[in-house]
Amino acid sequence: MAVESSGSLPEPITLAEIVDAGRDALRDLLGVDCVPTLDVLHRSRGSDGRLAEGGERRLGRGELEAVRLGGPGVLAGEDEHYEAAVDGFECRIWLWIFRADEDYADDLTELEGRHIAWLECVPARTPVMVVTSIGLALGAARSRGGYFDTQLRLAPELGVGVAVPAERALALTRLEEVRGETYEQACERFLDVYSAARPGGAR
């Protein structure tokens, strides 16, 4: 079962804005006051295109603000490798930009033209990473008036491969607030509520 989620970026966005918008979306989505710090790491590639060993670097705030992604003129982002890390948890989320091909845009006529660039979030298969990846994609799309798409079965209107406006996606999946709940517990509860979205291995 695929677990990635994505958000369209009709306008460019910085990595810093992706992090900030993601944390805001996760607060709204899960009904929690505190979302852990989210860091972004960059991994360099060797001349053969493979990820270099020991080439990982955590990006500072200034670097996050300098990296712009998305917008109508974006190129596919396979040359750069970014990973999101959640403070206190070992696993990661791979972040990359892809261009929707012409057939995909034609299938969603309202998206054609402006919604070509998409931020795709591919998480490790744990509850915290899966739910955090939803928040990152949802937050980025919401901040740019974009659409949200997921391979998870969250709601009838959010079928696999069916994009909806990010604000609508949030309204469909927002949890009621439970005071005193930790971030990890909220992620677990989210997947319990949407049990069809819990991938094998996300325990």
Residue with the larger pLDDT of the pair 161 and 49:
161
Would you state the pLDDT for residue 73?
62
What span, in angstroms and rounded, lies between the C-alpha atoms of 167 and 59?
Answer: 29
Half-sphere exposure of 29 (CA within 13 A, CB side): 33
Has residue 3 got a pLDDT over 80?
A: yes
What DSSP character marks residue 155?
Answer: B
Q: Compute the average pLDDT of residues 167-183.
A: 89
Partners of 149 in the β-ladder? 6
Torsion angle of alpha carbons 156, 158, 161, 165, nearest 10°? 150
Would you state the pLDDT for residue 203?
45
The two tokens of residue 140 are 């980025």
Task: Name residue 156's amino acid.
Answer: P
- Taking only the tens place, the pLDDT of each residue in 184-194 is 999 999 999 88
- Contact between 24 and 128 under an 8 Å Cβ cutoff? The reply is no
What span, in angstroms and rounded, lies between the C-alpha atoms of 72 and 68?
Answer: 12
CB atoms < 10 A from the CB of 171, how many? 13
- Taking only the tens place, the pLDDT of each residue in 102-116 is 444 444 445 555 567
- Is 184 strand, coil or helix? helix
pTM: 0.87
Please give the helix or strand (H or E) that residue 14 lies within, else none.
Answer: strand 13-14
Residue with the larger pLDDT of the pair 195 and 200:
195
What span, in angstroms and rounded, lies between the C-alpha atoms of 62 and 87?
Answer: 19
Would you state the pLDDT for residue 196?
58
What span, in angstroms and rounded, lies between the C-alpha atoms of 18 and 196?
Answer: 27
What span, in angstroms and rounded, lies between the C-alpha atoms of 82 and 41?
Answer: 6
Would you state the pLDDT for residue 105?
44
Would you state the pLDDT for residue 102?
47
Would you state the pLDDT for residue 28?
95
Would you state the pLDDT for residue 91?
94
Would you state the pLDDT for residue 109?
44
